[in-house]
């Protein structure tokens, strides 16, 4: 499997954000230092619409809200812990309660910054944003998909959380925002692979007769895809963030159908390890061998 | 204001506030803001209840959403909401809650209640209006105790350093901050580059003069002193 280098999604984001600011007068970018150098050219060209508020993440979200209320389409950007967790009440009130639209773009997914330790890890991010009403949550698994999703978000007025990551699948899929992609069909189970975990899931299930659904939009959750793809009523959910984040969504999709659900993801523990995301994936059983072992055990039970 | 809209006067406000029952614990908070909000709507803001979506209207953001009875009374007096609606204050189906919701009342610019949110949003609105080359101004009302929320100081620092002249922050000071503000509230703004005025928060002419003060290339803070909360 070819690993796309980690920084690709992030660098593509900066390029596309700058292009969007150039091309559309209503686009504004708000950052809190992170990304400042990459967006320097865009800031020089559009000093009124590329705004660096310094290390002030609460203000970053407040400013995004104000820009939206003044008619702009703001893109706010930082590391996941600093754009979701630290200003969480601003997401709830400055954006949600005002009914103001914005695109929040994070980097540092789960343990992408593992060497930096817990302060820079946020595997809770999707669960937190999903706890708020009205958010669309995109978890692309390839830089091309991330680019497509950013452009789609830029053209509407919703509240969008776009979660960029270092891990990438080897190939982009022909995704449609809002829909799961049917990667392959099988008879024994349905596996929902989210974002960058598609490749490990495909490797783990290569010899198994299972349906594999590829989820890049996780809110709203594509209930219809799960309902129509599930024949055996054994479902495995493989998420690159907190385990079980979408379990209730699967259960809601199958509310009138007896089913079993195995939810794989990042365990809710203080892990206290540094290193790389590869090592953390292995520790949480989210590499191909780990996924395979638990899928086989589940299906055999 | 549009002079053709029939309005009530300042003398009617107490009666309008008395129609709103059920949040008496915040009556002192409401009373503290009454004169500042009245002067803003009566003498300063370029807004029209018939054109609440005008992109070039001035904006008033009540960050201190506690005790909005004075705010609702002024909005009713100026034709933004029906006087009859005041009697529904706090009821299940009312558009007028104990904290305002912009999505329920056209003309209310932000939903507020949790302290420390309005000024950051106001900075964003002012930046947006500046980017559009609009002449509209942004006025944000906070309380002296509300300034204890650290998020305000992110906004104060940024707005001052970047000379956001379209922004005015009115601090209604009834000395209710737990630890007070050694050196004075105005100095906190001045340190970050704001223009400042301190006035009697019951003196309408003084409030008007302070709000109309020229503050080119700087945001402006008006500290309006009112009776200390008992």
**A261 three-state secondary structure:** strand
> Among B151, B161, B170, B156, which Cα is nearest to B123's?
B156
User: Hey, of A29, A62, A89, which one would you mutate to test binding to chain B, going by the most B CBs within 10 A of its CB?
Assistant: A62
| Non-local CB neighbours of A31 within 8 Å, separated by 6+ positions | A39, A50, A51, A52, A53, A60, A76, A77, A78
- How are beta strands A181-184 and A159-163 bridged, if at all? unpaired
| A249 in the same domain as A155 | no
Nearest-CA distance from A7 to chain B in Å? 30
Q: What is the pTM of this model?
A: 0.96
| A81 in the same domain as A15 | yes
What is the C-alpha to C-alpha distance for residues B147 and A66, in angstroms, rounded to an integer? 19
Q: Is A176 within the bounds of a domain?
A: no
B127 CB neighbours in chain A (<8 A) are: 48, 51, 63, 66-67, 70
Among the partner-chain residues A49, A58, A99, the one whose CB lies closest to the CB of B120 is A58
| A24 in the same domain as A140 | yes
* Structural domain harbouring B178: 25-65+112-225
Q: Which of A115, A131, A163 is the last residue of a domain?
A: A163
Regarding predicted confidence, which is higher, A161 or B29?
A161
In this prediction, the residues of chain A whose per-residue pLDDT falls under 50 are: 1-6
Q: Is A121 within the bounds of a domain?
A: yes
What is the C-alpha to C-alpha distance for residues A276 and A292, in angstroms, rounded to an integer? 21
Q: Is B168 within the bounds of a domain?
A: yes
User: Hey, of B61, B131, B138, B153, which one would you mutate to test binding to chain A, going by the most A CBs within 10 A of its CB?
Assistant: B131
| A186 in the same domain as A62 | no
For chain B, how many structural domains are there in total?
Answer: 1
pLDDT recorded at residue A230 = 67
ipTM of the shown complex: 0.96
| A74 in the same domain as A116 | yes
Task: Answer whether A242 touches B (CB < 8 Å).
Answer: no
Q: Do A66 and B125 touch (CB under 8 A)?
A: yes
Q: Do B124 and A90 touch (CB under 8 A)?
A: no
A251 CB neighbour count, 10 Å cutoff: 14
pLDDT recorded at residue B7 = 74
pLDDT band of residue B26 (cuts 50, 70, 90) is: confident
| Tokens linked to A56 | 């002030």
| Non-local CB neighbours of A47 within 8 Å, separated by 6+ positions | none
pLDDT recorded at residue B6 = 54
pLDDT recorded at residue B23 = 85
User: Is the torsion defined by CA of A97, A103, A106, A109 positive or negative?
Assistant: positive
Q: Is B146 within the bounds of a domain?
A: yes
Give me the helix-helix angle, B204-211 and B27-39, nearest 10°: 60
* Structural domain harbouring A65: 7-163
Nearest-CA distance from A83 to chain B in Å? 14
Average pLDDT over residues B43-48: 98
- CATH of residue B39: 3.40.50.970
In the predicted structure, residue B3 carries a pLDDT above the cut 50: no
- CATH of residue A212: 3.40.50.920
B139 sits in which H/E element:
strand B138-143
- How are beta strands A181-184 and A211-215 bridged, if at all? antiparallel
In the predicted structure, residue B65 carries a pLDDT above the cut 50: yes
Average pLDDT over residues B69-95: 97
User: Hey, of B120, B132, B155, which one would you mutate to test binding to chain A, going by the most A CBs within 10 A of its CB?
Assistant: B120
| A70 in the same domain as A144 | yes
Q: Is A172 within the bounds of a domain?
A: no
pLDDT digit string, tens, across residues B187-204 = 999 999 999 999 999 999
Task: Answer whether A50 touches B (CB < 8 Å).
Answer: no
B158 CB neighbours in chain A (<8 A) are: 53-54, 56, 59
pLDDT digit string, tens, across residues B97-153 = 999 999 999 999 999 999 999 999 999 999 999 999 999 999 999 999 999 999 999
pLDDT digit string, tens, across residues A142-164 = 999 999 999 999 999 999 999 99
| A36 in the same domain as A154 | yes
pLDDT recorded at residue A217 = 98
| Non-local CB neighbours of A15 within 8 Å, separated by 6+ positions | none
For chain A, how many structural domains are there in total?
Answer: 2
Q: Is A1 within the bounds of a domain?
A: no
């Amino acid at each position: 499997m070819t690993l796309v280098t980690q920084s690709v999604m992030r660098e593509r984001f900066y390029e596309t954000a700058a292009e969007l600011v150039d091309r559309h007068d209503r686009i504004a970018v708000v950052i809190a230092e992170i990304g400042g150098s990459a967006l320097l050219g865009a800031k020089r060209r559009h000093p009124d619409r590329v705004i660096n508020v310094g290390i002030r993440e609460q203000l970053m979200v407040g400013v995004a809200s104000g820009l939206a209320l003044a008619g702009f389409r703001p893109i706010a950007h930082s590391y996941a812990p600093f754009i979701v967790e630290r200003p969480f009440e601003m997401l709830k009130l400055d954006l949600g309660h005002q009914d103001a639209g914005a695109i929040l773009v994070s980097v540092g997914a789960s343990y992408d910054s593992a060497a930096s330790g817990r302060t820079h890890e946020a595997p809770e991010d999707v669960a937190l944003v999903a706890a708020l009403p009205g958010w669309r949550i995109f978890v692309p698994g390839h830089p091309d998909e991330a680019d497509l999703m950013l452009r789609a978000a830029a053209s509407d007025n919703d509240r969008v959380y776009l979660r960029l990551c270092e891990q990438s699948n080897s190939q982009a899929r022909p995704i449609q925002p809002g829909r799961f992609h049917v990667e392959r069909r099988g008879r024994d189970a349905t596996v929902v692979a989210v974002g960058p975990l598609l490749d490990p899931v495909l490797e783990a299930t290569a010899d198994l007769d299972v349906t594999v659904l590829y989820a890049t939009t996780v809110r709203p959750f594509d209930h219809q895809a799960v309902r129509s793809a599930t024949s055996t009523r054994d479902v495995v959910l493989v998420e690159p963030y907190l385990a079980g984040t979408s379990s209730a969504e699967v259960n809601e999709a199958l509310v009138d159908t007896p089913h079993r659900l195995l939810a794989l993801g990042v365990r809710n523990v203080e892990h206290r390890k540094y290193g790389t995301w590869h090592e953390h994936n292995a520790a949480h059983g989210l590499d191909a061998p780990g996924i395979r072992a638990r899928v086989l055990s589940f299906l055999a039970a | 204001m549009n002079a053709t809209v029939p309005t009530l006067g300042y003398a009617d406000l107490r009666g309008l506030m008395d129609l709103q029952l059920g949040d008496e614990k915040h009556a002192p908070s409401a009373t503290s803001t009454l004169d500042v909000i009245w002067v803003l709507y009566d003498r300063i803001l370029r807004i029209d209840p018939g054109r609440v979506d005008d992109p070039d209207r001035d904006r008033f953001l009540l960050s201190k959403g506690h005790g909005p009875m004075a705010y609702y009374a002024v909005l009713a007096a100026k034709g933004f909401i029906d006087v009859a609606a005041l009697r529904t204050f706090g009821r299940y189906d009312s558009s007028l809650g104990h904290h305002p919701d912009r999505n329920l009342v056209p003309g209310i610019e932000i939903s507020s209640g949790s302290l420390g949110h309005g000024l950051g949003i106001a900075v964003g609105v002012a930046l947006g209006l500046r980017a559009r080359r609009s002449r509209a101004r942004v006025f944000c009302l906070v309380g002296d105790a509300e300034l204890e929320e650290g998020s305000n100081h992110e906004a104060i620092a940024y707005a001052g350093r970047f000379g956001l002249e379209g922004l005015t922050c009115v601090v209604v000071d009834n000395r209710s901050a737990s630890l007070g503000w050694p050196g004075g509230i105005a100095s906190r703004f001045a340190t970050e580059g704001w223009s400042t005025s301190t006035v009697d928060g019951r003196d309408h002419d003084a409030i008007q003069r302070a709000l109309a003060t020229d503050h080119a290339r700087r945001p402006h803070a008006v500290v309006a002193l009112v009776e200390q909360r008992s």
